């Protein structure tokens, strides 16, 4: 993985990455403290890719861009790559502000609408039930029950979404970007590739520094996301070494194939750690978090760390390396041997 020699633009300005491609970096109020947003130039106007979380800082930043470097042309379309709050949070206000048609994929729309429809109370109860099944301590389970919806806290009311699907093309002033949809970090993330020019907006599925969070979701905690992500990563190992990759976080880079292989190895290492530990004693998600991360977390990180541990356990079950059982308190247990009760 080789970083490109380009620095993020200062707040309120844009960095040009190609004739038709601009890069903005927005602040996030999380440990991962920024997001990369991209803008394509088309004959009809700007296509904005992702929006930031819904807060005052994002609103001011968009205001500065729309009245500054983007002022010369209309905003033609907005593309939300996936339903996570840092990508979709400000989509509603941005659509209202610009009047632009807003797109995402079908699975991402559905997931966003499902999450947004949960009231604070519904979200708290569902997360508490999930944490209970994960074997988290009672005080943590009780704390999230009344903590409200982290989704609604960071997301404005959603706009109407039009749909993009795999194979759709976006023609720009300098090339043509083909839409991909992939499963792993989310249900059907949109990414864009201009193969001819060797440019790839990978968004959150291929990142240069951190491993994209592969997190079982409270909507479907048993789903084996890692299998889908491995299929994606395997394909990515064949990316041309000089393709320029523009990720949703951190910095643009080359040698995406090398990076994809590192991520495959990283997940296999984690799977092996859990599989080995389960030979001594059955695991819960809580004990798996200890093995994978070896430390405790704040609320926001707890959500992702527990989901990540769960996703690895789901995969071990899916490939037959562990067996899922339930104890009499309703906690999910992952054991090396299948215990058959007569
Ligand atoms: Zn994401």
**pLDDT of residue 27 exceeding 60:** yes
Q: Is 148 left (phi over 0), alpha (psi -120 to 50) or beta?
A: left
Q: Does residue 341 belong to any structural domain of this protein? A: no
One domain for residues 291 and 158: no
CB contact set of 320 (below 8 Å; sequence gap of 6+): none
Helix/strand/coil (H, E, C) string of 115-171? Answer: HHHCCHHHHHHHHHHHHHHCCCCHHHHHHHHCCCCHHHHHCCCCCCCEECCCCCEEE
One domain for residues 319 and 229: no
Q: Does residue 270 belong to any structural domain of this protein? A: no
How many whole angstroms from 125 Cα to the centroid of ligand 1? 23
Choosing from 209, 233, 265, the residue where a domain stops is: 265
**What's the domain range around 304?**
124-148+275-335
Above pLDDT 70, what percent of the chain? 99
Q: Does residue 300 belong to any structural domain of this protein? A: yes
One domain for residues 222 and 113: yes
Choosing from 265, 286, 320, the residue where a domain stops is: 265
How many whole angstroms from 82 Cα to the centroid of ligand 1? 7
One domain for residues 250 and 230: yes
How many whole angstroms from 229 Cα to the centroid of ligand 1? 13
Q: Span 21-34, mean pLDDT?
A: 94
How many whole angstroms from 6 Cα to the centroid of ligand 1? 23
One domain for residues 108 and 129: no
How many whole angstroms from 87 Cα to the centroid of ligand 1? 7
Distance, CA of 66 to CA of 98 (rounded, Å) = 9
Q: Does residue 342 belong to any structural domain of this protein? A: no
pLDDT in tens, 119-162: 999 999 999 999 999 999 999 999 999 999 999 999 999 999 99
Question: How many residues does the structure list for the chain?
Answer: 342
One domain for residues 241 and 173: yes
How many whole angstroms from 32 Cα to the centroid of ligand 1? 11
Residue indicated by tokens 């067996």: 323
Q: Does residue 340 belong to any structural domain of this protein? A: no
How many whole angstroms from 339 Cα to the centroid of ligand 1? 37
One domain for residues 320 and 252: no
pLDDT in tens, 271-293: 999 999 999 999 999 999 999 99
How many whole angstroms from 214 Cα to the centroid of ligand 1? 9
List the end-to-end C-alpha distance of the chain, in Å, as a whole number.
Answer: 53
One domain for residues 284 and 196: no
The CATH number given to whatever domain includes residue 167 is 3.60.15.10
One domain for residues 184 and 311: no
How many whole angstroms from 94 Cα to the centroid of ligand 1? 19
One domain for residues 99 and 62: yes
pLDDT in tens, 55-108: 999 999 999 999 999 999 999 999 999 999 999 999 999 999 999 999 999 999
Distance, CA of 40 to CA of 174 (rounded, Å) = 10
Q: Does residue 85 belong to any structural domain of this protein? A: yes
One domain for residues 244 and 101: yes
Choosing from 228, 245, 265, the residue where a domain stops is: 265
Position 339 scores a pLDDT of 59
Residue 325, CA atoms < 13 Å, CB-side half-sphere:
16
pLDDT in tens, 216-252: 999 999 999 999 999 999 999 999 999 999 999 999 9
How many whole angstroms from 97 Cα to the centroid of ligand 1? 24
Burial of 106 (0-12, 13-18, 19+ CB in 10 A): middle
CB contact set of 272 (below 8 Å; sequence gap of 6+): none
How many whole angstroms from 146 Cα to the centroid of ligand 1? 25
Q: Does residue 90 belong to any structural domain of this protein? A: yes
Q: How many domains does the chain have?
A: 2
How many whole angstroms from 327 Cα to the centroid of ligand 1? 33
One domain for residues 161 and 206: yes
Q: Does residue 196 belong to any structural domain of this protein? A: yes
């Amino acid at each position: 993985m080789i970083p490109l020699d380009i620095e993020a633009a200062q707040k309120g300005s844009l960095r040009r990455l190609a004739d038709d491609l601009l890069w903005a970096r927005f602040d996030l109020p999380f440990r991962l403290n920024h997001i990369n947003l991209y803008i394509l130039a088309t004959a009809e106007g700007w296509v904005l890719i992702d929006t930031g979380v819904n807060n005052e800082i994002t609103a001011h930043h968009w205001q500065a861009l729309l009245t500054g470097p983007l002022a010369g042309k209309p905003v033609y379309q907005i593309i939300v790559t996936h339903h996570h709050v840092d990508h979709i949070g400000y989509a509603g206000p941005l659509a209202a502000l610009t009047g632009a048609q807003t797109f995402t994929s079908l699975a991402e729309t559905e997931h966003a609408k499902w999450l947004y429809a949960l009231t604070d109370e519904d979200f708290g109860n569902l997360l508490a039930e999930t944490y209970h099944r994960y074997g988290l301590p009672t005080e943590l389970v009780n704390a999230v029950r009344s903590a409200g919806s982290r989704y609604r806290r960071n997301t404005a009311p959603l706009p109407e979404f039009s749909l993009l699907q795999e194979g759709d093309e976006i023609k720009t002033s300098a090339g043509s970007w083909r839409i991909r949809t992939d499963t792993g970090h989310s249900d059907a993330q949109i990414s864009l590739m201009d193969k001819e020019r060797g440019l790839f907006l990978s968004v959150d599925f291929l990142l240069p520094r951190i491993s994209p969070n592969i997190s079982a979701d409270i909507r479907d905690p048993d789903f084996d996301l890692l299998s889908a992500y491995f299929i994606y990563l395997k394909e990515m190992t064949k990316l041309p070494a000089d393709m320029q990759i523009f990720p949703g976080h951190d910095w643009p880079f080359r040698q995406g194939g090398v990076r994809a292989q590192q991520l495959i190895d990283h997940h296999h290492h984690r799977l092996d750690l859990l599989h080995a530990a389960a030979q001594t004693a059955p695991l819960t998600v809580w004990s798996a978090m200890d093995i994978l991360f070896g430390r405790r977390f704040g609320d926001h990180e707890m959500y992702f760390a527990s989901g990540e541990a769960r996703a690895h356990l789901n995969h071990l079950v899916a490939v037959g390396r562990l067996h899922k059982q339930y104890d009499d308190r309703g906690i999910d247990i992952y054991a090396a041997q299948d215990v058959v009760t007569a």
